[in-house]
Structure formats: C-alpha cells, structure tokens
Structure 1
Amino acid sequence: MSTTAEPAVTVGAWLHGVVSDADDAVLATVTGMDGGTVRAVRAAGLAAVVSAVPLDGYGEEALRRNLADLAWLERAARSHHAVVEALSRTGPVVPARLATVHHDDTRVAAMLAERRADLAGALDRLAGRGEWGVKGYVVPGAVPRTEEPTGGGGAGAAYLRRRRAQLTARDEGQRIAAEAAAAVHVALARYAVEARRHTPQDRRLSGASTAMVLNGAYLVDAGTVDGFAALVRELADRHPEVRLELTGPWPPYSFVTERPEEEAVHTVREAAW
C-alpha cells in the first residue's frame, strides 16, 4: 500500500523594513506576521527584517484576494507596523511597502545588493528624525454666519431662502477651512526637514464628524520636536476654522524613496491607533 506525500508548503519572506544592522536578541522579542518571529537577512552591509510566510497564503494570487478583505488587511497592517515601529526604536529604518513578499532569502539579499546605495542613503537621511502627522478638520460655525435673507413669497419661499443661505455658508466654511489648511501646511513644511501632503481621508476612515482638509506628514529632527509641537498649537490658535490634530512619532512611511501608495500609508498608520 502506497501513500502520497503532502506537497511541501513553500515559505516566502514578508519584508518589514531595512536597517543598517539588526540585533538578533531584539528581533527574538518581536512578533511578526501570523504570530511568528522575525529574522534578519544580511547582505551588502545592510539587514532586511522579514517574517516567514507560507506562499500559499501570501503569494501573488493569495495576496490579491486578501488585500480586498478589509479585516485581513487591517490585521496584516497592524502586524507589519508593530515590527516597523519596534525597529524604529533602535535606529533609522526604511519601512517596506505593505505586503512586500519575496520568494526566498536569496532574493531579499539580491534586493539589498541592488538597492544598497539608495537604502544606505535613506538610512543616513532618516537618522535622528521621525515622521509626525498633522490632520486638520473643518470646525463648523468658526466662520461668520451668513445673514438670513429677507423677502416675500410665503413659507415655502422663505424655507428655500434659508436653505440656500445654509448651503452657501457651508460651502464658504469649507473654502475658508481649505485655505487655512494650505497655510498651516506651508508653515509646517518650512519648519520640517521634509513634508508630504496626503489626500484627505474619507470620514468613514478618519472617524471624524466633520470633513478633513489637511492630512500632512512632516519629517522632523528629534531635537526640534518641541518647537514643531509649539508651532502646531500656534497655528491652531491662528486658524480656529480648522481643528488640528498632531500624531507621532511614526516610522518614516512617507519619506522613503519607494514609499507605499496613499491607501497603504493610511492603512498602516490608522490601524496602529
């Protein structure tokens, strides 16, 4: 009687990020994808930190399906971010794009060798700096209310006039808030080393009751963070038509050469909150 052996599951490497060097003792305390451990793949004087993942669940076709599953995506983003955040506490890190999976360690090492100059340059640029986020939301009623128009025509006409005035005031409030958000971003970008302005998030993602008009990311020197926070408070006082929210420090998702797409940045950052 013969038996058919189960086909072996091929294991790939989910890339979390690249660092100058990795302490194996620290990595042993970090939980990676699916609750497993992480390890370093070393080549070209750099270290890529990866999680072992089965390619039947994390290969190209499987990832395409899973990335459409919001619950799976949130779990994966949280696990990925937890590793990147742990690495960022030990020094500069170049975060990998969410769901970057290599077929094996040999290909990870080849990537390090091929991109060594860019990766080493990014690590030097990010050293001693962190990413801070500033979001701005419309503050209803923070702009002068439009005077209610007068005129004849009865109750129906009066209602239409009031409704038109309300819509006009709302549109004007949005416009003023958007102008304030632009001014805030310019001021913060001048203070920061680098700045990015991402697309504002939908309310379903932000969880806010009013529209987001600023979704900025700022690379700030560690020694100037207090001044940056003070500037955010000053700008909030100067522009009461927007409510500013400062978050961070984050790993520098927005400031790497091959940075994640907009939605990937949002997913990783928001899942960590």
Structure 2
Amino acid sequence: MSSPADTARYVYGLVSADTVLPDGLTGLGPSGQVWKMTCENVAAIVGDVPDDRRLGRRRHLMAHEAVVEAVAAESTILPMRFGAVITEEGVMTELLAPQHEYFAGVLEELDGRTQYTLKGHYDLEAVLPGIIQNDEGMRALHERIRGLSEEAAHFDRIQLGELIAQALKARRQQDAQDIVDALGPHVAVRKVYEPEQDGDVVNAAFLVERARQREFEDAVDEVAGRFPMLRLKLHGPLAPYDFVSAR
C-alpha cells in the first residue's frame, strides 16, 4: 500500500509563497481541488491526478490551461508544461527544495509582467498583385505569360514563381522587423520566432509590464492599421511560457 508521500500530484506551476490563489479554480483531477505546497518563499500549485493517470484528453489540457491562466491574470506564475506529474514527496524534495532560490529569482524577474503573443500572415490575394506590379521584370513576365498557352508558358511560370517567392520573403522579413521594432518601446522583453507557414510574417512573444498592457494593445492596433494586408492576431495576457527557461 502506497504512503501519502507516494501519492501522485499534478503540478500546474510555481508562484511566490504569499500568492493567494483565485477562488473557483477547478483542477483536472477527480476532486477538482487545487492547492499550494510551500517551500520557504516558493510554492507549487498542485492537485490530484485522474485515477488512471491518463492525461491525454482535451478536457485535461483545458483544465490545466484554465488554472494557469486564472492565476496568471492576478499573479506571477512560472507555468509548467502540460503533463507534469510527481509524487507529493517529490514536489518538496525534487522540485522545490533544491531549486527554490532559482525559482524565487525568476519569479522576481517576471513580477509585474505578463506575456502576449502576436502572429500575423499576409492576405496573399491582396499582397501578390502589388508585388508583381511594383517590379518591372515581374510585371513584364506576367504580361507575357498571359498571352501564351499553358505549355508554352511553363518555364516562364516557374521563373515568375521563383521571383515572387524571393520578393515575398524580402518583404516579409522587412515587415516583420518593422512590426517588432514598432512595438519594442512598449515591451520589456521580446522573442521573435521563424514563421511557421508560407504567408506567415510575424511570430513573436512579448513580455509586457502589467501597468502598460493597454498601451501595448493600442500600439498593436496602430501597427495593424499601418499594415492593412496583414492579418494580425494578438493573444494575451498570458502566463509567461516563452520566458521561463526549462531547468
């Protein structure tokens, strides 16, 4: 028979020991309860796990995210990736006790800040005609193709496609840099990632002072107005997933 110390606990994230958890948190375990386990000045937010310990269901992921984001809305949290399970004893002896000073330092660094993510992609139907018309060589090639049969225009189409891809890449890089630079004065830290798909322009995470959230959101609206051929999606405020180093 297992002892209480061997009981599995699900870990949602780490907070300062004095953090007050929001009312109404519902965890992913059968009891739905969520509580803190504290070691000096750092605490782990934990709960029970499903009886079969299987965590692959969508409702489990949604419960995890709901707890993390509810805490993040009011306090600073170091979010754990979905699926973090450890014994009750391990929460103290393996997670908190050996690393509480490190965690406390990261929490202090992130205190008063929140994360936003910004993704944007081109409306290609709107942007491609402009790319062709603004380049004399591409414009001439495009006009020539229009007067040829599909077979006769085969190699010209390949050449035009390559030229468009090169021009689109150059424009994408410039637009992404302009967007990130425009938002730079309104953020504390930024991380820029490579685009994920063709047509994607910007994929970035920003750490923003809570006191400047509205200012940052207004800046994003202004940027969106400057780039009408871009579809920007702003998500946040969020827990600072992109600014927590794994350790």
Please tell me whether residue 177 in structure 1 is matched to residue 177 in structure 2: no
Q: How does 1:171-210 map to 2 (within 5 A)?
A: 171-202=166-197
Q: C-alpha deviations, 1:148-189, integer Å up to 9, x for none?
A: 243899522235434642453244224312331133224334
Query: How do residues 84-99 of structure 1 correspond to structure 2 at under 5 angstroms?
Result: 84-99=68-83
- C-alpha RMSD of matched pairs (Å): 3.0
CA distance in 2, matches of 1:198, 1:33: 31
Q: Residues 73 and 237 of structure 2 are in contact (CA less than 8 Å); yes or no, is this contact kept in structure 1?
A: no
* Aligned residue number for residue 92 of structure 2: 109
8 Å Cα contact 2:9/2:86 also seen in 1: yes
| Structure 2 CA distance for aligned equivalents of residues 185 and 151 of structure 1 | 38
Q: Does 1:255 align with 2:243?
A: yes
1:149/1:162 contact within 8 Å kept:
no
- Residue identity opposite 1:53 in structure 2: V
Q: 2:35 aligns with which of 33, 39, 46?
A: 39
Q: What is the TM-score normalised by the length of structure 2?
A: 0.79
Match of 2:114 in 1: 130
Looking at structure 2, the residues matched to 103 and 211 of structure 1 have their Cα atoms a distance apart, in angstroms, of 45
8 Å contact kept, 2:113–2:208: yes
Describe the SS at the equivalent of 2:195.
coil
Aligned positions of 1:1-273 closer than 5 A:
11-20=7-16, 21-23=18-20, 26=22, 29-34=24-29, 36-53=32-49, 57-58=53-54, 72=56, 74-104=58-88, 106-110=89-93, 111-140=95-124, 141-142=126-127, 143-145=130-132, 146-147=138-139, 148-150=142-144, 155=149, 156-158=151-153, 160-162=155-157, 164-202=159-197, 211-258=199-246
Counterparts of 2:78 and 2:202 in 1: how far apart (Å)? 25
Kept in 2, the 8 Å contact 1:138–1:174? The answer is: no
* TM-score, scaled relative to structure 1: 0.72
Distance in 2, matches of 1:86 and 1:184, equals 29
148-157 or 122-131: bigger deviation: 148-157
Deviation at 1:54, TM superposition (A): 5.2
Deviations, residues 196-244 of structure 1 (Å, cap 9, x unaligned)? 1234345xxxxxxx63232111011122222222322333344445332
Please list every run of 5 or more consecutive structure 2 residues that lacks an aligned counterpart in the other structure.
133-137
Compute the displacement of 1:81 (Å).
0.9
Is the Cα contact below 8 Å between 1:39 and 1:51 reproduced in 2?
A: yes
